[in-house]
Amino acid sequence: MSDFFAEKLITTVAFISFTFILLIFIFVFRETIPIFSGAEQTTSNIAEDEVQETYGEEPAVSDEQGAGSLERRALSGERGEITNSKPETSPAGGGQATRETPEDSYQSFESEGNANFENLTSTKWQPISDEPKFGLLPLIIGSFKVTFIAILFATPIAILAALFTSAFAPKWAQEIMKPTIEILAGFPSVVIGFFALIVMATVFQDIFGFEYRLNAFLGGVALSLAVIPIIYTITEDALSRVPKSLTEASLALGATKWQTALFVILPAATPGVFAAILLGIGRAFGETMIVLMATGNAAMFSGSFFEPVRTMSATIGAEMAEVVFGETHYNVLFFIGAVLFIFTFSLNAIAEIFIRQRLMKKYGGL
- Give the C-alpha separation, 277 to 360, whole Å: 18
Report the 10 Å Cβ neighbour count for 22: 10
Please give the average per-residue pLDDT across 322-343, as a whole number: 87
Per-residue confidence (pLDDT) for residue 155, from 0 to 100 = 95
- Give the C-alpha separation, 110 to 327, whole Å: 7
What confidence tier does 113 reach under pLDDT thresholds 50, 70, 90? low
Residue (of 271, 207, 204) closest to 241 by Cα position: 271
Residue (of 132, 62, 73, 130) closest to 101 by Cα position: 62
Please give the average per-residue pLDDT across 352-364, as a whole number: 64
Alpha carbon separation from 279 to 227, 228, 292 (Å, rounded) = 9, 11, 21
- Give the C-alpha separation, 330 to 110, whole Å: 11
pTM for this predicted structure: 0.73
CB-CB contact of 347 with 337 (8 Å): no
Per-residue confidence (pLDDT) for residue 148, from 0 to 100 = 94
- Give the C-alpha separation, 269 to 277, whole Å: 13
What burial letters (b/e) apply to 239-251, b meaning 16+ CB within 10 Å? bbebeeeebeebe
- Give the C-alpha separation, 315 to 309, whole Å: 11
Asked if pLDDT for residue 122 goes beyond 70, the answer is yes
Residue 254, C-beta contacts closer than 8 angstroms, at least 6 positions apart: none
Alpha carbon separation from 198 to 162, 201, 219, 270, 294 (Å, rounded) = 30, 6, 12, 38, 9
Alpha carbon separation from 226 to 41, 80, 164, 231, 237 (Å, rounded) = 40, 35, 20, 10, 18
CB-CB contact of 145 with 216 (8 Å): yes
Report the 10 Å Cβ neighbour count for 102: 19
- Please give the distance of CA 216 from its chain centroid, rounded to a whole number: 14
Residue 237 one-letter amino acid = D
Residue (of 325, 282, 334) closest to 25 by Cα position: 334
What confidence tier does 222 reach under pLDDT thresholds 50, 70, 90? very high
Please give the average per-residue pLDDT across 12-26, as a whole number: 88
Please give the average per-residue pLDDT across 10-26, as a whole number: 89
Torsion of the alpha carbons at 120, 124, 128 and 129, rounded to the nearest 10? -110
Residue 114, C-beta contacts closer than 8 angstroms, at least 6 positions apart: 40, 41, 328
- The number of residues in the chain equals 366
Give CA angle at 319 (63, 297), nearest 5°: 125
Q: HEC profile for 123-191?
A: CCEECCCCCCEECCHHHHHHHHHHHHHHHHHHHHHHHHHHHHHHHHCCHHHHHHHHHHHHHHCCCCHHH
Average pLDDT, the chain: 78
171-207, pLDDT tens digit by residue? 888 888 888 888 888 888 899 999 999 999 999 999 9
- Give the C-alpha separation, 59 to 84, whole Å: 25
Q: Averaging pLDDT over each range in 94-103, 176-185, 223-232, which range is the top one?
A: 223-232
